[in-house]
Amino acid sequence: MATTGGAGRPEKRKAITQAATVVFGREGYVRASMDAIAAEAGVSKRTVYNHFADKETLFLSVALQNSAELTEEVRRLMAKYLDRVMDLRRDLVDFAVERARAVLSAGEHGALGRAIRAEVANIPADVLEAWLEAGPIASLRDLAAHFEALAERGLLAVEDAVLAAEQYTLLTFHGIAERSFWGAVPVADEEVERIAAVGVDAFLRIYGGPAARA
């Protein structure tokens, strides 16, 4: 994979990455062109190439940036709801709801994620792997670490924290994400809350620890 160019002014680079997020989200990876990105940014194509060696490099840059920003927001929500759990069910439901809302309201970030999922067969493998590591996999690891801490308190009974995190996500989030086409179609708050609550109840029937049942 080509390396990112180092020349050019920071404000130009920021304008290019913002424009690329819009264009890739709107057009997808294959159809998006460096000409369209340059026009969206209000710069020449030469300026784009001064900052980024090629389309793959630019796409990787914006994909990682957007993924990292959303991952950091999810990490903040984990800290808010799962660092000092007092009511396990309530905190797991509240986290699930807030995570879903963060993803559904991600705007251009969400559009880029939808483009990646829609064109997964066309995305360079190393770019896809880096995006997964910076986003979905990083969030899964963070959640697994929280579940391990809750298991140490006797609130959860988990042998494989990563598997538990995957199943929690499937039960409380993926149904909402799929129904909304990953943020493209609105889902009512009441439905988000219902899916999260039902999913948490199912999760706790599998993984609820002795302290949670006391």
Residues present in the chain in total: 214
Is 107 part of any domain? Answer: yes
pLDDT digits 0-9 by tens, 97-149:
999 999 888 777 778 888 888 899 999 999 999 999 999 999 999 999 999 99
Rg (the chain; Cα; Å): 20
Residues spanned by the domain of 88: 55-213
Q: Indicate whether 128 belongs to any domain.
A: yes
Classify residue 38: in a domain, yes or no: no
Q: What angle do CA 61, 65, 68 make, to 5 degrees?
A: 140
For residue range 50-107, list pLDDT tens digits in order: 999 999 999 999 999 988 998 999 999 999 999 999 999 999 999 999 999 998 887 7
Residue 4: its pLDDT value, please?
A: 45
In-domain check, residue 171: yes
> In this predicted model, what pLDDT tens digit does every residue of 154-198 receive, in sequence order?
999 999 999 999 999 999 999 998 888 888 888 999 999 999 999
- Check which CATH number belongs to the domain holding 179 and give it: 1.10.357.10
- The answer to whether residue 141 is domain-embedded is yes
pLDDT of residue 3: 43
Contact assessment for residue 16 and residue 50, using Cβ atoms and an 8 Å cutoff: no
Does this model's pTM top 0.85? yes
- Domain assignment present for residue 7? The answer is no
Domain total in the chain: 1
pLDDT of residue 210: 82
Does residue 5 register a pLDDT over 50? Answer: no
In a domain, 34, yes or no: no
Residue 19 lies in a domain: no
Taking 80 as the threshold, does the pLDDT of residue 16 lie above it?
yes
Residue from 167, 159, 144, 152 nearest 210 by CA: 152
